[in-house]
Structure 1
C-alpha cells in the first residue's frame, strides 16, 4: 500500500491533476494544485465504480 500521494499519469505539463493515496482500505483523492490545503475525497472498497462513473461522464453538470 502506498502511504504517499501519487500524481496521476494523465497530469498536464503544468502539473494540474489529481493525486491519490492508498491505505487502510481507503483511497484518498485530492486536486494536485490544492495540495495540503484542499479537500480530500475518501472512497471505500467501491472506489472503482466512482472512477468508472467519472470516466463515463456521469457526474457532469
Structure 2
C-alpha cells in the first residue's frame, strides 16, 4: 500500500527517534495500523490489523524480540 493511498493517516515518529531520518513512522487508522520508513516518504507502507499490531507490541514489551545493542 502506498502512503498516498493512506490519505487520512497522521504519521508519527517514535519519541526514541534520533532525528537523523532513519526511523519507522506509524499511523493508527480505523481498523489498521500502517508503518513506513521515514527515508522514503512516498514509498510503500506495511499495513497490519489492529489485533496483529497489538500482539506485536505485546511481544516487544514481553522481551520476545531481543535487541543486539
How well do the aligned residues superpose, as a CA RMSD in angstroms?
Answer: 2.1
- More strand per residue: 1
Alignment-derived partner of residue 41 in structure 1: 46
Aligned length: 56
Unaligned stretches of 5+ in structure 1?
Answer: none
State which structure, 1 or 2, has the greater radius of gyration over its C-alpha atoms. Answer: 2
What is the TM-score when the length of structure 2 is the normalising length?
A: 0.62
Alignment-derived partner of residue 12 in structure 2: 6
What is the TM-score when the length of structure 1 is the normalising length?
A: 0.68
Moved over 6 A (4+): none
Greater RCO structure (CA 8 Å; 6+ sep): 2
Unaligned stretches of 5+ in structure 2?
Answer: 1-7
DSSP 3-state at the match of 2:39: coil
Query: In the TM superposition, what is the alpha-carbon distance from 1:19 to its structure 2 partner?
Result: 0.5
Pick one of 20, 30, 34 that aligns with 1:24: 30
